[in-house]
Chains A and B, each alone.
Chain A
């Protein structure tokens, strides 16, 4: 296997190396080999070089969000399902931080409770993608030949359908439950995370120390787990964080398309979908979850990039 020629500059982008067809020898199989996460990852290169203030703010937001979501039942938030006529259709006030919706429910409370489901969906989907996609990518990248052809081929086929459409189809087919949403988005995440794992595995597999380990007779499983995986992990995690953001956005998009979780479960997406028709009269109902999504994606992008910088993830992914 040839090592793909490296680009000269550290943050350069040379996607057109080693485009030599369907033997899957390189991570970048011709122009159509890029998947949405890779494009995203390459572009989300923050203007900073160190963790910096932005990174800390991002981290703080995520900690705050996850904390609030986990501890919501014990924290002094209003009940997100209870109707309070006094705040019904009222904007932000002292009674309700972010106003009340048409049913008189506290929008701030709903946003926090919505975080629970939305984060669960985002994290769950990426977890599925990481585990399944990662495993497949490792196996394909390491073993090469037929295994890799199968793995790379499957990824290519799955990437051939626009992600939203794939998720939509699975979601509609399976039904409007949170776990089905996780499954559907997880399926979409598998090839995206798998490709990056595979590309990284390919590059690392050719390194001297790996070859040495194999020459010394170490078993394949051991090599994968102890030599390759730890080196591939940073790249995977970096992209995974971006992926969580993408999955949360996807949940929002699917809800707007009518394929969201069922009525009664609060997610940011369903809040937006439900409040959309009264956008003009009660905009806060929609703008609150929308802003929450924005801030979360922003924070995740920051963090994902920070990890990439911290562990100096090489462009072998691309």
Chain B
């Protein structure tokens, strides 16, 4: 219990630091953001003063932080100028795309990595294992956006296997949706497949050496049963936890892969915000990602803490 409170306290501290950091972002940029947002027009100074008040740049920093945070909690992330589109609307439109990409990549990675990992652990040392391991090593080394560029060019532009550079909503056309997400997902998942496969393999090899496996074998249980029901289960928790922790790298990767494939997700919006010097919007995107990441990490951590003693207990008694 004390451990959990400790973690909660840490969560609050981290959230505070992260939000404060992103808040300070807009105030630390060189130049006057308001001047950039309203470069010309009638009643210039009056308009700028209004905007300054709207963003909160005319208040002292601490008060600004408070009102900004208050706005964020109620869902007011500010506006994109000069169209005055609420950033929350952009987030609502762009975030699901990025989340979908991350989700599909994780699913694909696990779907491919799990059987491969189990197989290579089972047949450790065989040519299959060596080939798979070598390929994994190669895949690990290829950055996701580099793979994305290759796929976009060869599979997309040259051979026209799959589309590259368009996005179709699931609600519009499910088949086209998955087709348009295929290449980006593969780009993002490839490195993860290698990662998960090798981690699972390592863990399984250890588990397969343990006493309870020999015992099970001597009892006459089939290899398959041992592999999946006894060896894989504890290792799967390791893998899932890794997958959860890996979300941070995946977020970064997804954001970049999106720009390669022109998907209208957070990556593209971040790009637009940077180019358009929309610091209010950029602040919100950064915040959204950072807080999401912190919360997910905390959730994974918490989940593990809850389940951990049982694992130990389960292993010990096996």
Interface residues of A (CB under 8 A from B): 7-9, 11-16, 19-22, 30-32, 34, 36, 39-40, 42-47, 153, 156-157, 159-165, 168-169, 172-173, 175, 245, 249, 252-253, 256-259, 272, 276, 279-280, 283, 286-287, 290-291, 293-294, 297-298, 301
Contacts and interface: CB of A to CB of B under 8 A. Distances in A.
Contact of B141 (A16, A47, A160, A294): A294
Interface string B249-273: 1011101100110000001001100
A43 B199 contact: yes
Give the most central of A30, A259, A293: most B CB within 10 Å: A30
Contact of A168 (B7, B137, B153, B270): B270
Contact of A286 (B140, B149, B241, B253): B149
Given A14-B206, A47-B133, 4 more contacts: A257-B255, A279-B152, A293-B143, A301-B141
A12 B303 CA distance: 23
B130 interface: yes
Nearest to B16: A157
B150 interface: yes
A283 B137 CA distance: 26
B185 to A, nearest CB: 18
A36 B249 contact: yes
B307 to A, nearest CB: 10
Nearest to B305: A30
Contact of B28 (A14, A173, A259): A173
A7 B206 contact: yes
Question: How many of chain B's residues touch chain A, expressed as a range?
Answer: 35 or more
Contacts of B141: 245, 294, 297-298, 301
B143 A43 contact: no
Interface string B140-159: 11110110011011000100
A252 B293 CA distance: 22
Contacts of B238: 13, 15-16
Nearest to B237: A16
Contact of B142 (A11, A15, A258, A297): A297
Contact of A19 (B134, B244, B286, B305): B305
B206 A13 contact: yes
B245 A39 contact: yes
B64 interface: no
A298 to B, nearest CB: 4
The 9 closest A-B pairs by CB, nearest first: A164-B252, A31-B304, A298-B141, A32-B301, A47-B133, A253-B256, A12-B206, A249-B143, A280-B157
Contacts of A283: 153, 157
B286 to A, nearest CB: 6
